[in-house]
Amino acid sequence: MPRRIEQAGISKTARAKQAVPDDSWLKAAVRYLARFDRTAKQVEEFLRARGASPVQAARTLRRLEALRYLDDSAYAERWIASRLTRGPCGAARLRDELLRKGVSENVTDGALGRALAEVDQDTLARRAVGLKQRRGGTLSRWQTLRLLRQRGFEEDVISRIMGEWQETERVDDEE
């Protein structure tokens, strides 16, 4: 009867993790991606939380990218388009949100450059104010200013919108 030789310094849990084939990590990752669009960082965190080693997680991510199931650049572009449809905001806010999701700075900046090249920031800012006014009545000058800053619009865009706001206020006062 062969003797079982214990691997020195390796726990049973660690051996069990090593025994899981990479194919099962790939299947788990594909199931995870099937529910929602995800970033590479989110998938890696999922795999690590499920018990994949750093090597297994990295190998699985490379395989997913090779199969084109995972592409942070495409994710960022789709996410920006969706985000602008749901609630208009400026480049700074979009950038912060993408970075928090784990998209790299290079990918984030590239996606923002492509997505916002076709979009007028002033129009987005007007839409943000208009949506807020439809939901909660009129906004004061300070509420408008705060809203635009919270939504991540640049100061020059905010200045132009506030200038329009003042012009509208003067016209209303004259009538």
Select the more confidently predicted residue: 37 or 139.
37
- Is residue 59 within 8 Å of 97, Cβ to Cβ? no
Query: Whose CA is closest to 25, among 43, 39, 9?
Result: 43
Query: Whose CA is closest to 98, among 34, 30, 37, 33?
Result: 37
| Distance separating alpha carbons of residues 175 and 170, to the nearest angstrom | 9
Query: Residue 11 — very low, low, confident or very high, per pLDDT cuts 50/70/90?
Result: low
Amino acid at 129: V
| Distance separating alpha carbons of residues 98 and 24, to the nearest angstrom | 29
- Predicted pLDDT of residue 93: 94
pLDDT at 158 over 90: yes
Measured between alpha carbons, how far is residue 28 from residues 23, 32, 37, 72, 93 in Å? 9, 6, 15, 19, 32
CB atoms under 10 Å from CB of 37, counted, come to 13
pLDDT at 154 over 80: yes
What is the average pLDDT across 11-17? 52
For 73-114, how does the pLDDT look when each residue is reduced to its tens digit (9 = 90+)? Answer: 999 999 999 999 888 999 999 999 999 999 999 999 999 999
Least confident of 20-24, 53-57, 85-89: 20-24
CB atoms under 10 Å from CB of 27, counted, come to 12
The model carries a pTM of 0.74
Select the more confidently predicted residue: 15 or 32.
32
pLDDT at 19 over 50: no
| Distance separating alpha carbons of residues 46 and 38, to the nearest angstrom | 10
